[in-house]
């Protein structure tokens, strides 16, 4: 049986978590606001039409919600926050030493 191909037309939350940590690590204090994070991630991923469709509220583009979910889902056991890789500052994320150590294990 052939392996099933997964066709994705949208950016997923997991796609951006490692990049969010990397972007925070590049800052002098290891902190990045969610506003700056969204801008940098848009520049990096260049969201497609599928990522620009409005969410259920009709106002927020799907990509903005995906980035926002990094923070709002922070209590999920698999999140970068729950794993201790970052902390929430109230306005963004701050990478921890565990997050910096984790980035050293990520293949380049």
Spans of the chain, pLDDT less than 50: 1, 4-7
94, with CB counted inside 10 A (0-12, 13-18, 19+), is: middle
Q: How many CB atoms lie within 10 A of CB 44?
A: 13
Distance of CA 90 to the CA centre of its chain: 16
DSSP state of 78: T
Reported as a single tens digit per residue, the pLDDT across 2-17 is 554 444 556 667 778 8
Q: Which residue, 101, 94, 83, is CA-closest to 26?
A: 94
């Amino acid at each position: 049986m052939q392996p099933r191909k997964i066709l994705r037309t949208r950016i997923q939350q997991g796609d951006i978590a490692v990049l969010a940590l990397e972007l925070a690590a590049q800052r002098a204090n290891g902190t990045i606001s969610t506003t700056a994070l969204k801008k940098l991630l848009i520049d990096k991923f260049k969201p497609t039409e599928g990522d620009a469709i409005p969410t259920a509220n009709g106002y927020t583009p799907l990509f903005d919600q995906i980035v926002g979910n990094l923070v709002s889902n922070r209590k999920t056991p698999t999140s970068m926050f729950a794993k201790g890789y970052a902390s929430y500052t109230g306005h963004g994320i701050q990478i921890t030493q565990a997050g910096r150590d984790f980035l050293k294990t990520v293949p380049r």
